[in-house]
A and B are shown apart, each in its own frame.
Chain A
Amino acid sequence: MHILLIEDDRAAAAYLAKGLTESGHTVERAADGEDGLHLALTGQYDILIVDRMLPKRDGLTVVRMLRADGSATPVLVLSALGEVDDRVEGLRAGGDDYLVKPYAFSELLARLDALVRRHRAPAEIPQRLRVADLELDLVSHRVTRGGKLIRLQPREQRLLEYLMRHAGQVVTRTMLLEQVWDLHFDPQTNVIDTQMSRLRSKIDKDFDRALLHTVRGIGYKLDESP
């Protein structure tokens, strides 16, 4: 994907650009809010990474002006401010996701991926989600694999729905905690791993091909191929 990175910390921007390029993306960089806004308004990008504190125009103002201009390009806000309130403010300004520094590069990649996919997804809500022979009917709340009915708890179903909507993508534990449970803290006990292994035992255990994969050190991926 084509990414605009607005970040005034040159060293951080350089590392990030290198990492994103090596991950197969193209990156343009702006070092202040003014340049960033100009590039965002004139160029075509799949996603914007905007640091919150920028010279000339701060990141949230850039996002607000962009949204006022009618742009729907997804925006990931990066910030050193991490209070719950700061996060709410960032999302309210029109950011699609908010990542607090310091973050893991894999977390950033996973979130960029999720945002771009969501943005590209057709606007109408599908009636059913499908990954290989696994199906989730969003109307009747029935889950089947290979035509066989799988019984899930409501929470497990929401988890599966999130994974299916992001099929083929890596999702991190933090993303799952935030999106499925609306929890914004980092539990010491790895509660997500338990939930995933329970879900796996229901959708993968009796079948030849595993769909739910653990991506070491990063998170999980629901996909036809590992």
Chain B
Amino acid sequence: MNLPRLLRTSAVRLAMRYALLYAVLIALGLGVLYWTSARFVDAQLGAGLRKTLNELALGHRDLDRKTFLALVRSRLRADAPDGLHLLLTDSNGRPLAGDLEGWPPGLPADGQVHNVWVEDDLISGRPDDEDGYWPAVGIRLPDGDQLMVAYGVDQAESLLDFTQGTMGTILGVSIALALGLGLLQGRALLLRIDTLVDTARAIGAGRLNQRIPLSGRNDEFDDLAGQLNGMLGRIEELMAGLRQVTDNIAHDLRSPLSRVRNLLDVTLLEAREPAEYRSAIERATAELEEIIRTFNALLEIAQTEAGSFRGEWTSVDLSAVAQELGELYRDTAEEQGKVLALEIQPGLSVRGNRHLLAQALGNLLDNAIKFTPAGEGARLQAVEDAGRVRVMVSDRGPGIPYGERKRVLQRFVRLDAARSTPGSGLGLSLVAAVARLHGATLSLEDAAGPGLLVTLDFPRGSAA
């Protein structure tokens, strides 16, 4: 698995996108924190400075000059390690006491805290402090001297440094984590996609029996794989159907076509009486009739099975269709000395194509009457049971052995019992195709007593 491909995976891209988003959020948060804490620190420092200044001003008022200068020095000694600076000047700005070389320019003696720029040459006595903006406060004393205190720490700068450092670390760690997790996840995704791609490639190469392995985790990939496998199964079936159709056409159309051809060839072999020609032509026409019938049935099954049905799709009054066909076939059964009993519940309807449903039903009735012996009865039932519409056709014929039931739905399969009867072996195949198109289940069972029971079970909700 190569890195560029891994980096292009949606997992890595998504992880990076989130990492960036989080970084921006963290930066914003730290920015706000920086701003508020800077204000807080400024206020704290300012209060401390003003307090110190007030104490010194009181000392200046109450003490004599010598004692006051001693107080200034002792105060400086005590607080210098914390960064405190002091300066007392005369009214002309000349330093009298303290550790600064001069009054910082820009600092008014108004008793308010200001951040003022302090040059290096003002702090030559304290080389460990750096120039910068210092919080400072100064006042003019009653005798004209000026007093100031300041903190020699650039609070803003150190706070910014700290914040930036923290921000950098957090950003670095979160991006590294996101990238790492994204790569891991991307790798896992790629592995699963690769199995999909491999299967697709194999199928593209013509190995239609390939399926995508499931991970068993029942996740969205298994869902997708399951759906795709279902689709592949259907395609394989259709392809098999197509292959079967071509095989069938070869087998079941070639033989009769060759019969017609032989018949005509032989007829032309020598001069014959007109009556002979007529008879040959009539036989050829009858053969062609059969061929056309088979061909039409095959085509119809293929079109119905292809899943690209374009015909009318409406609510079909199944009771009416069943009644109509039932009556039509009942009369024919009667003529053959058989009975066709009709039990049709009125008002049943399903969504579908009327012509195909009628034809499927016609095929079932054709079979039922064909296989029911004279003197016996077949039955057509249409009922609704718990919201499902069900059509059942049963006969009193030989039935279909259990093992053969799946096979008879294939094209051209005719059981031995049916060989002596007319038919193409396509009737039930069409019924199966029509059932499938309508989402109905077609089942073959033993009828009560001898015979076959065919049930078309339409899905719930197909009623319309």
Contacts and interface: CB of A to CB of B under 8 A. Distances in A.
B335 A187 contact: no
A211 to B, nearest CB: 20
A188 B430 CA distance: 13
Contact of B362 (A83, A185, A194): A185
Interface in B314-333: 324-325, 327-329, 331-332
A189 B311 contact: no
B311 A85 contact: yes
A155 interface: yes
Interface string A84-98: 110010000000000
A191 B328 contact: yes
A186 B324 contact: no
Nearest to A186: B293
Interface stretch (B56-64, B254-262, B352-360): B352-360
Contacts of B288: 102
Contacts of B303: 83
B324 A189 contact: no
B148 to A, nearest CB: 101
Contact of B310 (A83, A102, A104, A183): A83
B127 interface: no
Contacts of A84: 311-312, 353, 355-356
A71 interface: no
Contact of B369 (A82, A186, A189): A189
B177 interface: no
B422 A102 contact: no
A131 to B, nearest CB: 23
A185 B422 contact: no
A181 B332 contact: no
Contacts of A185: 355, 358-359, 362
A205 to B, nearest CB: 15
A183 B356 CA distance: 10
A127 interface: no
A155 B325 CA distance: 12
Interface string B285-297: 0001100110010
A181 B369 CA distance: 20
Interface string B18-31: 00000000000000
B439 interface: no
Given A83-B303, A85-B311, A181-B328, A189 B358 contact: no
A190 interface: yes
Contact of A189 (B289, B292, B312, B370): B370
Contacts of A83: 303, 310-311
A189 B329 contact: yes
Nearest to A194: B332
A188 B370 contact: yes
Interface string B72-84: 0000000000000
B311 A191 contact: no
Given A185-B358, A188-B427, A194-B335, A82 B296 contact: yes
Given A83-B303, A188-B427, A195 B366 contact: no
A184 interface: yes
B111 interface: no
Contacts of A190: 332
Interface residues of A, number: 22
Contacts of B370: 188-189
B102 interface: no
B299 interface: yes
B324 A181 contact: yes
Given A188-B366, A195-B328, A183 B358 contact: yes
Interface string A42-56: 000000000000000
Nearest to A195: B331
A155 B312 contact: no
A184 B355 contact: yes
B332 A186 contact: no
B298 to A, nearest CB: 12
A186 B335 contact: no
A173 to B, nearest CB: 12
Contacts of A194: 331-332, 334-335
Contacts of A82: 296, 299
B104 to A, nearest CB: 98
A102 B292 contact: yes
Nearest to A100: B296
Give the residue among A102, A104, A155, A194 with the most B Cβ atoms within 10 A: A194
A195 to B, nearest CB: 6
Contacts of B329: 189, 191
A197 interface: yes
B132 interface: no
B310 A187 contact: no
A198 interface: yes
B423 interface: yes
Given A181-B324, A183-B358, A183-B362, A191 B331 contact: yes
Contacts of A155: 324, 327
B222 to A, nearest CB: 39
Contacts of B310: 83, 85
A188 B422 contact: yes
Contacts of B369: 189
A135 B324 CA distance: 26
25 contacts: A82-B299, A84-B311, A84-B312, A84-B356, A85-B310, A183-B325, A183-B355, A183-B359, A183-B362, A184-B355, A184-B359, A185-B355, A185-B362, A186-B296, A187-B362, A188-B423, A189-B332, A189-B365, A189-B369, A190-B332, A194-B331, A194-B332, A194-B334, A194-B335, A197-B335
Interface of A: 82-85, 88, 102, 104, 155, 181, 183-191, 194-195, 197-198
- Sorted from nearest, which 3 A-B pairs have the closest CB atoms? A185-B359, A194-B332, A85-B311
